[in-house]
Structure 1
């Protein structure tokens, strides 16, 4: 069975299968063309499996390099005779054999890999293509030479040509899902697609290899790839055949590219001259021009992994040294140059290795450890990125030991202070003790005699206060740092702390402005990896005026690899009411936040629990937040209590939900987080079946005056309108919420508006019903059971026909009444239902 015909895995080629099958059934035949491994044979197998055995007899043959050496070699098994044959004899024998096998059915001749046909076989195939008594189906590999007769098959329209491309990202995900019998996390799908280029053969082999070697592991209900790229044995053999016979110069060129792709053409030619053009013609290298510079890379990412694995130690050492000599100071990125320094086994630049370790720590902590350990031989500054990499690997105890040993051995006050500050940060995020970390930082201030050292210490202190739930204190300290200093790591940390604090406290416009400036990122301490883009996007959540659009200049999806993109994207989807997508992203976020510094683990777990509870899965939701009760690190205060409230509400425990919600509100109020408190109070207002409690409304009216975030203000004002009970006002607020992308809140309010307008006899009830219907459809909410409508039997009949799109005249013909009668009935129907036209009838009749 072909590799991608495992049950369920061929769905990604369904459209191509239908098209090729249609060409065969239409008496034309088909040629399937595509690169190696793209699934040409599998597609032909799927197509021919759909040809009914009562009508067709399918005969397979495949051309190979060996069959190419013999005239009519691909057909020898069908011709039944040896020796020399001319074209006419071979044609007659082959037609006779096909007719014998088919009987009264139509023969279908399938020739795989026609690019391997010898000239005689190609000419015979072209003759068969013109025979109207059989169907011809062939496959060919693109990019390889083929005889004129083969090209004529589709060039002269004997066969319909179908070009099969590698899978896109979505189809890659579907194939991985089918092979794993479960969904893979989005970062894993992205990684597999990047490594394989969407090639189905490579994908299938890599996934199977990942399962066998346990690089693919299950966590949070999703499959994740752990570790670097590893080449499956079957593909390694394939690459070995491609590389066999290359002379040393060609091997040097490929090895050099594998060690540092993309390489500039001058650097590669300095290492391996006069071979690049030849390797490009063979399809092993490809070039691209960017900014006036020609860059060279391997045609297939997995080939690079295979080359690096097979590269002998001495050749690797020689090539790395040559690459270092050939590149300029502004040459490849720090990570590539750091790799070369390690491979060359010569002198190292500790500053370069430290930068490289900081860069790759999140994505490849094992490599970061290698860089940092080598740098630590020459510089104590490498202890910090080494500790960070060890935390990413889950070894927090060893990370602390590295920092403590290096601090004890430090010979300068500034070095000891820097390492002590890193130890305090370690206590906050690795040991999950922000209060203890804050105390350590206060004690360390006596050792910070220089203003720049004090600013650096206070900047980290502000971030620790922020993650310890002391938002107001974090904002005050950050403002003091920014008032007293203009640059340096303390300023960068303070700006981030202040941006997040301002967003939480309700000054969201100022927060967005502050967060939009990425300039201080490089000045951040190295033990705060990826914090800048994470907090920047976080600070931009509340001021968003339309959640259907990207947030700010750096959208959530532009975050670095890690859990923050999934976390914030999931939160946005939840706010919009798209819980299914929100849960998928938040599950990824929980797994990603469970390792390393776990910056937003509480938020990820709490938001996932809220989604699960709203989907009426309170037990799963409770499991999601169980670890968070003991977790003292959180940016958003009261999140766990808020999740507990939603869980209680899902179980019908309104009193318990109110108690937990009060605890969440109190936590936000104590931290000075007006924006968070407004969000909590808005949710609390919907808990009681009798409407918002007066105390909640009074507090919400006060809180919202301190908040400038459009969506929070609009949501709060909508809740305050509930107390006034005016149907038209409720509908106006529902429309505003819908315009902001707040579909769930808009739907709830529109439902109230429709019910209120029906009781009050408002003229806009039809508008409310139409909005309710549209929002239900968007959210996937089933309409309630149909209620009797105060229409006569004839009115119901006419309303149904009008809702189905019939004109007044068509209805009059259908019911044998006059057009005027139909118009009179419709006027009464519109008045009774509170709508304005027949376009408004479908949702009203359904609801």
Structure 2
């Protein structure tokens, strides 16, 4: 198996290397498979001194004195059956001969006592540096423990990888990004254990279940343990008694289980035994204790050895045990329903429907679909069929949803018929590809059953269609009317909250949306259209972005990261992308979008085109014109014809593509046209963003309009966009730097970088080169490697210094006197003074200190003029 790259441990590597350099020893601890050995190999490979040797302690050599070190010692040192003090002293002399060398000991918890003593004494003598790894939770020999207990050797604990670290590692291994869902599945299955992740990925890739689909890798999540991984797991689990294995079987089928219930089912002593062996974790959960498997792959290993009848019997047994508790916990009903699906117990359709609502609220729509299909098969009626149709519609399986609704409509009541019409209208209007006008379905039903009069039951869906099309003010009025009703159905509340979230964000209407968003999400959790919750939550991020307050969405982003179910990762990635884009982290936004967009084929219910437009903006901000134009064209191809309200995103995509392609004038004109369209729709907050982008690209004519918008909206973005436009129009470098500071404080980092860059250009035009250099450095610091915009490019105009003038100025900046500089360059002092004088005169600088400042900035820009 090919060695995986070393990545995502640089901080630990630096700390360990510093400990070896400064203290002469370091201990690396952590669970099995966390990457201790890989880190130790990297430290050995990067060691600058001699390497005494690398040894790995094993259980088989633990009974042999000096067994771990035998390969490093002369034969005479280990002759004799039972080494004593003389043998240890001889080993110390042999290994300590390479003074300053490095001895690496892997799995030191398995060292025999004699070897452990040698390692300890080598550390105490200071003759060699010692690098030790050991497994946490395993008792090491006393001499090894003494390293950090008595000798004050730094001990660094390695933790399992976090999900973002797993994503970076896998992208490096596979040579491309992974779908967000695949990253989460692989990370959770391996539990952050790098060794097991490696075997899992290699096995699934060889089996053809981890495959590249377009630019990204995708995995089904159906684990079939490879022989190598199975051996690792079996070795870790070890030999079990029947009751100990039964504990693992119960948990493999339905973890977590309450400690009391598990003890009743199998015996408290058996639970204690497997807990002491580290195979299960016993954790507090509110007022009770829960038991889980210590690693997800233990469950895969145990389940693979269980027969189908045994699994079905155990599922039924646990379901009955849960029923005896009276379903005291909120999730017990859902757990029982899921267990019953694969058990030998009879199914209750009403319980399955109730469980499906819980599953949808938890964003696990695959499970919800299983529950609803089982409910229909068990005799469930309209409620089960409507719930299933909603899920199918959400997954853009519109024809299947229509078929379910047609079957359900034959025996539907008037209220049920309305629910079916709303769902079909939503489905046809937004999910079909290509879509059909949903209004026609509403009008047809109103003609049949209301003599053509407007049915208030359809106000929620009607507001959604109007608002999505761009009728912002009208949609807000209808949605506010729904929320004012004291008994509005949860489905209508969820739709109205979505409409107000979307339209409120683009218009800048009203207060920040967080309370409204929370109300909508709460309603969606108990509604048939539970899937709309993620759409509602996203509007809080959009609102914060357009108001220029990206820092206030932390709680909503964490909420998205905590979503469960197969669809959760792709929406979490969309949230990550929005926040990264608005806070100036272009590369992170591109990575997040690359993992999310494959899950939204075609127009993706609107998300496909919208997300691709964001992708184009990010590439454009980075100055990659080709990628930006390609993404902008793809966004137009995927653009949803019924969702015009976010047209400003497509305008921004085209504008940044033009800017990155060397056409800032085209970018300005695109932003102006987009702003005019946004104004016509009432999308005033979107208009501000477009005009601010035009200003960033050099438009000096937006102060008046931005002033009117700020008086209307009063948002952070409108205030700062106005200040930026005013300073640019006034050719005011100090004003632009002041705006840059305010933008940076607001979290609008790349907007700040452009303002600082424009300050540099304005100052340079006035031949105020010191201020220009300072502003340019500020712009470069803010932008980092996250942007290359027209303003930043213009700010990098070369300063006319010869190579020798710049060299002398930089040496002066390092504190050298003219005489010291002359000695360094082997020239006369007069020559140094002449270069300084000529440069200051040509550039209009007052003194040597000003020349140093200018030269420091010029050293990072264009090539210098030839030396004189």
Distance of 1:157 and 1:335 partners within structure 2: 54
SS of the residue 1:540 aligns to: helix
Query: Relative to structure 2, which stretch is displaced further, 506-515 or 495-504?
Result: 506-515
Tell me what 2:329 maps to. Answer: 331
Tell me what 1:63 maps to. Answer: 58
Tell me what 2:721 maps to. Answer: 715
Tell me what 2:33 maps to. Answer: 37
Residue 799 (structure 2) pairs with residue 787 (structure 1): yes
Distance of 1:25 and 1:719 partners within structure 2: 54
SS of the residue 2:488 aligns to: coil
Distance of 1:212 and 1:400 partners within structure 2: 39
1:436 Cα shift? 0.8
Tell me what 1:639 maps to. Answer: 649
Task: Pick from 602, 605, 627 the counterpart of residue 612 of structure 2.
Answer: 605
SS of the residue 1:64 aligns to: coil
Tell me what 1:212 maps to. Answer: 206
CA distance 1:174–1:425, shift in 2 (3 Å): closer
Contact 2:163 2:187 in 1 (8 A): yes
Distance of 1:87 and 1:601 partners within structure 2: 72
Contact 2:210 2:218 in 1 (8 A): yes
1:300 Cα shift? 0.9
> What are the residue-to-residue correspondences of 1:695-774 with 2, within 5 Å?
700=706, 702-719=708-725, 722-723=728-729, 725=731, 729-756=735-762, 770-774=774-778
CA distance 1:180–1:527, shift in 2 (3 Å): same
Tell me what 1:820 maps to. Answer: none
CA distance 1:504–1:728, shift in 2 (3 Å): same
Contact 1:715 1:745 in 2 (8 A): no
> What are the residue-to-residue correspondences of 1:276-295 with 2, within 5 Å?
276-295=271-290
CA distance 1:335–1:752, shift in 2 (3 Å): same
Residue 576 (structure 2) pairs with residue 581 (structure 1): no
SS of the residue 2:516 aligns to: helix
Residue 413 (structure 2) pairs with residue 412 (structure 1): yes
Distance of 1:726 and 1:103 partners within structure 2: 69
Distance of 1:464 and 1:834 partners within structure 2: 66
Query: Relative to structure 2, which stretch is displaced further, 133-142 or 478-487?
Result: 133-142
CA distance 1:282–1:646, shift in 2 (3 Å): closer
SS of the residue 2:511 aligns to: helix
Distance of 1:539 and 1:108 partners within structure 2: 55
CA distance 1:340–1:279, shift in 2 (3 Å): same
CA distance 1:17–1:497, shift in 2 (3 Å): closer
SS of the residue 2:553 aligns to: coil
Tell me what 2:426 maps to. Answer: 425
Contact 1:417 1:448 in 2 (8 A): no
1:309 Cα shift? 3.5
SS of the residue 1:329 aligns to: coil
Task: Pick from 494, 497, 510 the counterpart of residue 495 of structure 1.
Answer: 497
1:374 Cα shift? 0.2
Tell me what 1:253 maps to. Answer: 247
RMSD of aligned residue pairs (Cα, Å) = 4.9
Residue 540 (structure 2) pairs with residue 537 (structure 1): yes
Tell me what 1:373 maps to. Answer: 373
Contact 2:26 2:154 in 1 (8 A): yes
> What are the residue-to-residue correspondences of 1:461-476 with 2, within 5 Å?
461-476=462-477
1:543 Cα shift? 5.9
Q: Which blocks of at least 5 consecutive residues in structure 2 are unaligned?
A: 785-791, 831-836, 862-868
Distance of 1:438 and 1:668 partners within structure 2: 24
1:37 Cα shift? 1.9
Contact 2:255 2:292 in 1 (8 A): yes
CA distance 1:810–1:620, shift in 2 (3 Å): closer
Distance of 2:37 and 2:783 partners within structure 1: 42
1:287 Cα shift? 0.9
SS of the residue 1:647 aligns to: helix
CA distance 1:835–1:442, shift in 2 (3 Å): farther
1:299 Cα shift? 0.9
Residue 190 (structure 2) pairs with residue 196 (structure 1): yes
CA distance 1:71–1:585, shift in 2 (3 Å): closer
Task: Pick from 515, 522, 527 the counterpart of residue 525 of structure 2.
Answer: 522
Tell me what 2:437 maps to. Answer: 436
Contact 2:706 2:721 in 1 (8 A): no
1:371 Cα shift? 1.6
Distance of 2:83 and 2:529 partners within structure 1: 78
How big is each residue's C-alpha offset from its partner over 1:599-627, in whole Å with a ceiling of 9 and x where there is no partner?
Answer: 42222111211222343434433432425
> What are the residue-to-residue correspondences of 1:607-622 with 2, within 5 Å?
607-622=614-629
Number of aligned positions between the proteins:
816
Tell me what 2:686 maps to. Answer: 676
Contact 1:509 1:543 in 2 (8 A): no
1:298 Cα shift? 1.0
1:302 Cα shift? 1.8
How big is each residue's C-alpha offset from its partner over 1:29-84, in whole Å with a ceiling of 9 and x where there is no partner?
Answer: 7665443223444445445556799x55637464234x556777768888989x99
Distance of 2:64 and 2:211 partners within structure 1: 49
1:659 Cα shift? 6.4
Distance of 1:113 and 1:633 partners within structure 2: 62
CA distance 1:807–1:418, shift in 2 (3 Å): farther
1:293 Cα shift? 1.5
Contact 1:126 1:152 in 2 (8 A): no
SS of the residue 2:329 aligns to: coil
Could you tell me the TM-score, scaled by structure 2's length?
0.79
1:487 Cα shift? 3.1
1:276 Cα shift? 1.4
Could you tell me the TM-score, scaled by structure 1's length?
0.80
How big is each residue's C-alpha offset from its partner over 1:718-748, in whole Å with a ceiling of 9 and x where there is no partner?
Answer: 3255445556655554443343333443344
1:842 Cα shift? 7.4
Contact 1:799 1:829 in 2 (8 A): no
Distance of 2:23 and 2:545 partners within structure 1: 61
Distance of 2:335 and 2:291 partners within structure 1: 15
